[in-house]
Structure 1
Amino acid sequence: MKQVKIIITNQKGGVGKSTIASNLAGYFSAHHHKKISFIDFDRQASGATLIKKIHDPNIGVYKKELFFKQGSNWSLMEARQALNTYSVGVDIVIADLTWTFGLPYDFLLDFDLIIVPSSDTSLEVASTEIFVLEYIQKNMDKLRLINQAVVVVPSRIDPSQSEIPKFSGLDFLTNCSVSPPIYRIPGIDRYYEEGFLCTSADPVIAENFLNLGNFIYEKLESLSTLFVPIKKITPNLLTKHPINRTASKIIEQPKTLVSTRVNQTQPKSQASPSKEFSFIPKFLRRGKE
């Protein structure tokens, strides 16, 4: 596997982002013997702190707090400089970042895989779907040129819960998938005394994080097949979603981010903005109407 860059990010705290990021680093070290660079962009640096408790020689830990200046790309330049500096001589780069719109979406384009942890509340599911859709909509042209995947991770799920959130608003995206869930672990800090969660003496905890790690590893291996070559994308395939206004301008392209499992005989519709974004709760539409 060539060097890969992974970012674990979400707009909200408290969804297990740093737990997933740090234990994913532990998974690649323990089960695949990879050399890893872990870059913690968060002020609290929770992920870096967790890894340092374990002292894994395969994982280099770096902290880089970003400062945001309105109307400036300073934060983007700092983030990219840190990413380039700490990517030298390693197999895998893992970045832990609480997303803020003070940082341009362009930074996400520097990664092979974007992992978005999310809780299972209806508000959080909607927020996560909007975050992913807006990123892809604004970068459709650029994403056609790179093999990048997005994985949503249902996180801190109650083990007794019968139904896991589906994130069905993202189903039509061929480069986006939902991983196995990560379950809530009461008193999680005490487990770090023995190592990463994927190597825990508790078989349930170990299996849970091992399942996630295996899913991510297989996703990285399959990046070259995530984009299906097609000869032509006709406009009537691209009228069912807000992302499609951008995509419909690009008729001849070798790759597509949008599923082609749509009836091609379907007549083209001119949806109003309110209907176009009907799957988004009104108070989250941010001026779409």
Structure 2
Amino acid sequence: MSSFKILITSQKGGVGKSTVAANLAAFVRRLGKSVTLIDFDTHASSSNWLNRAPEIGVSVQHHLLPLEQGGKRPILDARLHLRRAAERAEVVVCDLTWTDAIASELMLEFDLVIVPTSVSEIELSATAGFLNRHRWVFDAIILHSAPMLLMCPTRVHPEQLRSDVFSNQRFPVSFMLAPPVLEAQSARDLFERGYLMDLPDACGTSFVEFGKAVMAALEMREASLVVRETQTTPANLSAIVRKPLHNPTASKTATVSSQASILGRHRLQKMRADATSGKNPSAPSQMPANSLASMRIPQFFKRMSMGMSTK
């Protein structure tokens, strides 16, 4: 069985990492895929959520990595648990708070790395620093090695959607931007009781949009691997180099508007589908009040959707 492996990680707590991990695992399971969640965190928030919420069919594991031993031991343990899970599940979701005791190369075991982040300037700056320390992973030119990187704005308040703080921050690596997951008291109330995708409010809608974006990313990953496998021959192997999702700037960094945006593609596809069915996606009167599309879309999202430059 070919398994897709997703890592949800950050070095900072309080960004909703475990919430995203538990609820993404549930979202993918409801799509009919076999899913295993591996919770590497001490507090076991994501595994507790799935173990105590209504049964949805996700296989849940909680393993503590031997971080105090240092060296290669943490990464060897993580690889062992990951590969065993991948033998039994179509999708493996890992929840891991990153520390300096973990070697960057662990990320190479995954197809998709999701980094949740708030939209505050301080948090975005810290996230950019985290990515810079591990940039070689996403710039790897070894065939099949580099995972896709997905940035996920989390716990976003509706008024923050009007901010251009994301486009003002420069990031050292190529990434895709997921739809934002909105903040809501209803989400906190669901801890160990239910799932965000079932919330009948804007937070629930936002998480469903996020889940769809993740699945689109996995489809893109699968397609790229198929293309690479069919194109890999002894004659052209040395010529294959992973191309970045953006053209490098003079400073070798990139603004978010120059990144490939899943949000932009997803919104355009949805608009085309609505147009085909006779619906007008721009008319608020034809949309539910809690739909993300009824909110004001921030300028930096618009620029990414249209492929426009911030310059």
Q: Which amino acid aligns with 1:26?
A: A
The corresponding residue for 1:189 is 188
Q: Secondary structure at the match of 1:150?
A: strand
Contact 2:182 2:202 in 1 (8 A): no
State the TM-score, normalizing by the size of structure 1: 0.74
Q: Unaligned 5+ residue runs, structure 2?
A: 229-237, 256-311
Q: Which amino acid is the alignment partner of residue 77 of structure 2?
A: E
Task: Give distance in 1, aligned partners of 2:177 and 2:82.
Answer: 26
Which residue identity does 2:63 align to in structure 1?
Answer: K
Matched residues in 1 for 2:172 and 2:104: separation? Answer: 22
Asked if structure 2 preserves the Cα contact closer than 8 Å seen for 1:115 and 1:152, the reply is yes
Q: Secondary structure at the match of 2:88?
A: coil
The 1-side partners of 2:135 and 2:248 are apart by 19
CA distance in 2, matches of 1:71, 1:193: 33
> Cα deviation per residue 1:104-131 (whole Å; 9 max; x = unaligned)?
0111110000000011121211121222
Q: Say which SS state the counterpart of residue 49 (structure 1) adopts.
A: helix
1:78-227 equivalent positions in 2, closer than 5 A: 78-137=77-136, 140-141=139-140, 144-146=143-145, 148-161=147-160, 162-163=162-163, 165-166=165-166, 168-170=169-171, 173=174, 176-186=175-185, 188-192=187-191, 195-200=194-199, 202-224=200-222
Aligned equivalent of 2:28: 28
Structure 1: runs of 5+ lacking an equivalent? 230-251, 264-268, 270-274, 280-289
The one-letter code sitting in structure 1 at the alignment partner of 2:151 is: V
In structure 1, distance between residues paired with 2:125 and 2:150: 15
Q: Give the direction of change, closer, same or farther, for the CA distance of 1:224–1:29 in structure 2 (3 Å limit).
A: closer
Q: Are the counterparts in 2 of residues 147 and 223 from structure 1 also a CA contact under 8 Å?
A: no
Give the secondary-structure state (helix, strand or coil) at the position aligned to 2:190. Answer: helix
CA separation of 1:210 and 1:259: change in aligned 2, threshold 3 A = closer
CA contact (8 A) 1:154 1:165 kept: no
1:223-262 map, 5 Å: 223-224=221-222, 253-259=239-245, 261=247
Moved more, 213-222 or 79-88: 79-88
Q: TM-score, normalised by structure 2?
A: 0.69
1:111 maps to a residue whose letter is: F
Name the CA shift for 1:203/1:186 in 2 (closer, same or farther; >3 Å).
closer
**1:36-95, Cα deviation, whole Å (9 max, x unpaired):** 100000000000111112243420110001122465211111111111222222110000
Letter of the 1:206 counterpart: G
Q: SS at the partner of 2:116?
A: strand
Structure 1 residue 26 displacement after superposition? 1.2
Query: d(CA) in 1 for partners of 2:164 and 2:38?
Result: 30
- Give the helix-richer structure, 1 or 2: 2
CA deviations 1:216-256 (Å, max 9, x no partner) are 00011012566999xxxxxxxxxxxxxxxxxxxxxx74223
- What SS does structure 2 have at the residue aligned with 1:220? helix
Matched-pair contact (CA < 8 Å) for 2:9–2:114: yes
- Paired amino acid for 1:215: A
Task: Give the AA of the match of 2:215.
Answer: Y
| Aligned partners of 1:144 and 1:257 also within 8 Å | no
State the alpha-carbon separation in 1 of the partners of residues 140 and 209 from structure 2.
33
Aligned residues: 242
Sequence identity of aligned pairs in percent? 26
Confirm or deny that 1:38 pairs with 2:41: no
